[in-house]
Structure 1
Amino acid sequence: MFELAKELKRDCIEIADWSLCKVLLMNDSQYPWFILVPKVEGARDIIDLTEQQQNQLQLESRQLQHLIREVFSPYKLNVAALGNVVEQLHIHHIARYQNDIAWPQPVWGAFPVKPYSNEQLLQLIEQFNLTE
């Protein structure tokens, strides 16, 4: 049975449940940072998904990227599946700006996390309107 990795549960807020993926928001208000997690038990790499699941992942990733562009108008959209720390397959979608605090370096561990306030979180979820 699929279960979200403990690190993702700890660091993220679940904001939507699409047909293949859970959509998470990294609880760091310094960057618009979303994560797609395919609800497939034991998946560590994209090739662990069936062809149909891989196609659905591409659709959902594209949908998320379009939403991020529409809402946040980033200079650059970083999309990556690393998995060196959290083995469970998850794909980061991060809106980057030339004036963000980590630019042009990667965001991972660059600065201490600044969690969203309840107000910021509600506003972001409303603005983002994450339905499938």
Structure 2
Amino acid sequence: MDSFSLDPRLAADTLPVGDLALCSILLMDDARFPWLVLVPRRPGLAEITDLSNADAELMMRELRIATRVMLALAKPDKVNIGALGNLVPQLHVHVVGRFLSDPAWPGPVWGRGTRQSYPAHAAAALADRAAALFAAD
């Protein structure tokens, strides 16, 4: 059986936050938007329909937790959730905090402008804060 490994592009674009029962939680390294990525730790998944029924239910619970964390973490006007997979085929789901004032509002964040990495100290602090919020949920 294949073992799970994170797609190299996701690894390059994100910072680890921690793990839930099914998903690894990642913080997108883009200071323009508060942005989490959930990746089910199952090999060979590309579509939501590739999840077993039990894992699909668990994924929905974890997305609800991630949404609550995003609301507490960034206090956005809206939380967007999406699974695109156009550039990275490995199943992963984005949980993005959106603000009426953000540079992509009201359109999608994908392909909008140039990513602005967090300063190292800010990325670590935000990932730690997110991890604490996940642990408290």
Task: Tell me the TM-score normalised to structure 2 length.
Answer: 0.91
What count of residue pairs does the alignment treat as equivalent? 132
Alignment RMSD: 1.2
Q: Any unmatched runs of 5+ in structure 1?
A: none
Worse-superposed segment, 106-115 or 34-43: 106-115
For the residue of structure 2 that corresponds to 1:87, the secondary structure is coil
1:53 maps to 55
Provide Cα deviations, 1:58-79, integer angstroms capped at 9, x if missing partner. Answer: 1111001001112211111100
For the residue of structure 2 that corresponds to 1:63, the secondary structure is helix
Aligned mate of 1:100, from 99, 102, 105: 102
Q: Any unmatched runs of 5+ in structure 2?
A: none
2:127 maps to 125
Residue 12 of structure 1: CA displacement? 0.8
State the percentage of identical aligned residues.
34
1:41 maps to 43
Provide Cα deviations, 1:79-111, integer angstroms capped at 9, x if missing partner. Answer: 001111111000000000010111112111211
Task: Tell me the TM-score normalised to structure 1 length.
Answer: 0.94
For the residue of structure 2 that corresponds to 1:8, the secondary structure is helix
Paired residues of 2:39 and 2:93 also in contact (CA < 8 A): yes
Worse-superposed segment, 65-74 or 30-39: 65-74
